[in-house]
Structure 1
Amino acid sequence: MNEENKTKDARSGNLSANEDNSERTDLDFILDIPLELSVELGKTKMLINDLLQLGQGSVIELNKLAGEPLEIYINRKLVARGEVVVVNEKFGVRLTDIISPLERVRSLGQ
């Protein structure tokens, strides 16, 4: 099958069993790449002097209000927003907003 026909068939979803297996193998390879996921509750800035004064029981005020969405990052790039939930006595995050691919691409320049 020539390259042009492969492209047409791939767009229409007509892949041979060999081509389908090859694509699945490629996808399996990508699925095993580890990513760092982090959830940000809020941010603040402080002076070193203030940092040195912190002790057990100190409260650090963050820039977000209670109830505001958390930000979910994958490899330090914002991908979603969500809210805190408790699952089996552990904290979790329910996704409430997925950042569009266009917004994610725009953020790469920042």
Structure 2
Amino acid sequence: MAENDNDLAKSLTSTDVSGSLRKATFNNLEDGARAGADFNEIDLVMDVPVQVTVELGRAKMQIRNLLNLTYGSVIELDILAGEPLEVVVNGCLVAQGEVVIVNDRYGIRLTDIVTPAERLRKINR
């Protein structure tokens, strides 16, 4: 055994002044985690960036028709005027809404929010 190993072994079996082994004391981990100032688990993910997409509609077309598109061409989408748009976060539908214009920019006013239970049900399909 190396000299350092002997020192380690001695320190592990050291005794206090009365000759008995010292009992190790540890803080309760559950109490320590809650000891901080009003800690919420959601705070851990508040700064995580996510990709938010608003889907206006879709169209399916042949490559021949795609190549024939020119300036001013119209692509007919599969959604009817007035139907709600879908708000998708990281590929998961989270809400529906309608188009609004705010300061010359497009936006979406949420009209329906998908509940967490509905999102889980769709994921488990």
User: Structure 2 length as normaliser, TM-score?
Assistant: 0.68
Q: Which amino acid aligns with 1:77?
A: C
Aligned partner of 2:72 among 57, 65, 88: 57
What residue in structure 1 maps to residue 48 of structure 2? Answer: 33
Report how far residue 19 of structure 1 moved.
4.3
What residue in structure 2 maps to residue 99 of structure 1? Answer: 114
Report how far residue 88 of structure 1 moved.
1.0
1-structure distance, mates of 2:37, 2:58: 46
Other structure's SS at 1:92 match: strand
Q: CA offsets, 1:7-58, max 9 Å, x none?
A: xxxxxxxxxx72444x24x533311100000000011111111111111111
What residue in structure 1 maps to residue 102 of structure 2? Answer: 87
Q: Which amino acid aligns with 2:123?
A: L
Distance change (3 Å), C-alpha of 1:109 and 1:2: closer
What residue in structure 1 maps to residue 89 of structure 2? Answer: 74
Residue 18 in structure 1 maps to residue 35 in structure 2: yes
Structure 1: runs of 5 or more not aligned: 7-16
Identity %: 49
Report how far residue 102 of structure 1 moved.
1.6
Higher RCO (C-alpha under 8 Å, 6+ residues apart): 1
User: Structure 1 length as normaliser, TM-score?
Assistant: 0.77
1-structure distance, mates of 2:29, 2:67: 68
2-structure distance, mates of 1:29, 1:102: 22
